[in-house]
């Protein structure tokens, strides 16, 4: 009997097989912002800064442009506004920027954040410009 069972097991086709592994999930592309800035700073007087942020996401076919301006100084009206209320930014020093934005995706609105360092060039201590790309992540 034992030899018959062994012979059966050796000649029987395999009924069970191991499942094939699932392919690794591809991380979602949340896009990025291309950011440029120009600014002028007159010590103990006025300052102004313009920021342009272009959010792109090729998977969602998104191309969103936001223009921001900031100005003020002693005796001047303080202005800090963007033409897209869903975009926020802060700058530490001349180059370290943090951004956030609500973006409409095909599956709903996503809160995105990002941070990076802009490549800044100054013609003088007062007049500078810079740009860089900041990768977007879910908040």
* pLDDT tens readout for residues 53-94: 999 999 999 999 999 999 987 777 788 999 999 999 998 887
> What strands lie across the sheet with 127-135, from one edge to the other?
79-82, 62-72, 47-57, 32-41, 127-135, 119-122
List the structure tokens of 113: 């954040």
pTM: 0.76
> What strands lie across the sheet with 96-105, from one edge to the other?
87-92, 96-105, 108-117, 137-138
In the numeric block, the tokens 């223009």 are attached to: 67
């Amino acid at each position: 009997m034992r030899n018959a069972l062994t012979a059966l097991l050796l000649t029987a086709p395999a009924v069970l097989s191991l499942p094939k592994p699932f392919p690794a999930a591809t991380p979602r592309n949340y896009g990025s912002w291309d950011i440029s800035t120009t600014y002028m700073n007159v010590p103990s007087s006025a300052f102004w800064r313009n920021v342009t942020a272009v959010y792109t996401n090729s998977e969602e076919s998104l191309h969103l442009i936001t223009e921001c301006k900031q100005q003020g100084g002693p005796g001047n009206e303080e202005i800090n506004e963007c033409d897209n209320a869903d975009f926020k930014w802060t700058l530490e020093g001349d180059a370290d920027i943090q951004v956030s934005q609500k973006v409409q995706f095909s599956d709903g609105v996503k809160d995105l954040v990002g941070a990076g360092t802009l490549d800044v060039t100054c013609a003088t201590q007062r007049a500078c410009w810079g740009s860089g790309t900041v990768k977007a992540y879910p908040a």
